[in-house]
A = this chain, B = another copy of it.
Amino acid sequence: MVSAQRATIQDVAVLSGLSICTVSRALRNLPNVSEKAHRKVAEAAEKLGYKASPAASRLAGGNTGSVAIIAPTATAWFFAQTVEAAEEMFADAGHDTVLISLRNKAEVRSRVFGDLAALRQRVDGVLLLNVELDAAEIGALAASGLAVASVGMSGVPWDNVGIDDEQAAWEATSHLLEMGHWDLAVLAGRDLGGHSVHTSRRRLDGFSRALAEHDLEVHPDLVISAGSSIEDGRRAMTELIANRALPSAVFAECDETAFGALMALREHGLSAPKDVSVIGIDDHPMSWFLGLSTVSQPVADQGAFAANLLCERLQNPEQDHAPTNHFLDTKLIERKTTRRKRRTDKNHD
């Protein structure tokens, strides 16, 4: 039953015949509340449709009832999927979700991480999506009193879920290498003054390692700082086509970048795999359709999983068990945009 006016803890106290204080404790499952009291409070609260005011709760030292999701951007396919999955988890756990998009801007980034106390005022926890943090920031965050969990950020002092980005990039790159391609370009993420998207850096690492294992060097001209949108990929590939000898294969940091690359090729009368092999990471719903070779990863799962870990941390704040790290599986999917390098292929040397 819901009354016209919002019920207060006072109402619950009167109805249950207990003091406000006991009600408060019962509602939050704190110790030192008799079972009987607990039951009476639960009943009364239920009957009144009582929900604690987040503002009052927070002001008095309690929780806000909301968590923030911080992502480099909210439009990219990966983030949209992750955010929605996490939001669902949070909503079901009774938390509001505050969305903070860094919009790939260093300024926004520092505004957010520069005042963690202010953030703590507004949310109880933070879910970080692929945000690159330096040691000081990690320390500050861990000490901020905020519960933290993340996606795509291994090696961090809180629970993390992701794929092994370095490995996934290595797989993709190795696939190209094994098909005889040795002049590889990479469409990497945008660099934000040392604070790129975390996964981007890891994937670049994997790319480099694969090359190194074949005694190849990463040619700086063939590392294009792209960003991760379709448009970014298109621009990067256009640049590649315009400014230098075309490599025989391209590793795109994510499928959307690869889509853009494919578009650019088409615009210049070229195509994959005829003129250049292309591979991405993600297995975006469109990839099958375009025949894009890629390394698949479970996306919504990562968001839901990490959100769930955060919820647990929120529920048992005192327990400080060691941070866990979870790598979900990826799989190389060979489709039609990659093929063995042929003698007849153009050879730009």
A residues with a Cβ closer than 8 A to B are: 2, 5-6, 49, 51, 53-59, 64-66, 69, 73-75, 80-81, 83-84, 87-88, 91, 96-101, 103, 108, 115, 117-118, 121-122, 229-231, 259, 262-263, 266, 285-286, 288-289
CA distance A87 to B286 in the complex (A): 27
A54 engages B121 (CB within 8 Å): yes
CA distance A117 to B103 in the complex (A): 32
A-B contact pairs, 22 of them (CB 8 A): A2-B115, A6-B117, A51-B118, A53-B121, A54-B55, A55-B55, A55-B64, A55-B121, A59-B59, A74-B83, A74-B87, A80-B80, A88-B103, A91-B100, A91-B108, A97-B98, A98-B98, A99-B99, A229-B285, A231-B285, A259-B285, A262-B289
Number of copies: 2
- Which among B5, B55, B87, B98 is the interface contact of A101 at CB below 8 angstroms? B87
B231 engages A259 (CB within 8 Å): no
- Which among B49, B98, B262 is the interface contact of A96 at CB below 8 angstroms? B98
Select from chain B the residue with minimum beta-carbon distance to A288.
B263
CA distance A87 to B98 in the complex (A): 10
CA distance A285 to B256 in the complex (A): 10
Looking at chain A's contact residues, the main secondary structure is helix
Chain B nearest CB from A113 CB (Å) reads 13
* Chain B residues with CB below 8 A from A101, complex form: 84, 87-88, 91
* Chain B residues with CB below 8 A from A5, complex form: 117
* Chain B residues with CB below 8 A from A87, complex form: 74, 99-101
